[in-house]
Amino acid sequence: MSVKEGDVAPEFAMPASGGRTVSNAALRGKPYVLYFYPKADTPGCTKEACAFQEALPQLGRIGIDVIGVSPDKMKPIEKFSEKYQLTFPLASDESHAVAEKYGTWVEKSMYGRKYMGMERSTFLVDKAGKIARAWRKVSVTGHAAEVLAAAQGLT
C-alpha cells in the first residue's frame, strides 16, 4: 500500500528519542512532517536530520512538528539524536508496520542483491490529517528547504 497526496495519513504510534512516544492521535488538528530515513548516523541520514534541525525554528514558528522514522532499534536512535543534538523526536519503526502503511518499506537492490529497506520519503500532513505533500526517493540536498517552503504554503 502506498499513500498519496489527498489521502488521510495512516495511524501510527511509536517509541521515540528522549523517552517520548509519537502518534498521529497526539497531533490531531496540527500539521506535521513525517520523514522516513534508512539508518541512523549514516552520512545521508545525518545530513537530512541536521537540515531538519536547522529548519526547526522556522517550522516551529508556523506550528509544524517534525518526526523522523527509521527501522533502527531505540539505542542507535538515542545515540544519533544525542550526537547531533536533535531536539525533534526520532521514532523507531522496528517492525516497519508504519513504513508499510506509508509505502516506504520497499524492495531495494545493491550489487544485484535484492532486499527490503526504507525508502527515503517525506510526508507533509495538514491539520485535517490529510497528506498535503508526499516526496518519495528523496535527494537530501535542499530537501528540508523544499519541505519548509511547502509547509509555509499550508498556513
Catalytic residues: 45
Handedness of CA 15, 21, 27, 28 (dihedral sign): positive
Cα separation, 93 vs 90, whole angstroms: 10
Query: Can you give the chain as a three-state secondary structure string?
Result: CCCCCCCECCCCEEEEHHHEEEECCCCCCCCEEEEECCCCCCHHHHHHHHHHHHHHHHHHHCCCEEEEEECCCHHHHHHHHHHCCCCCCEEECCCCHHHHHHCCEEEEEECCEEEEEECCEEEEECCCCEEEEEECCCCCCCHHHHHHHHHHCCC
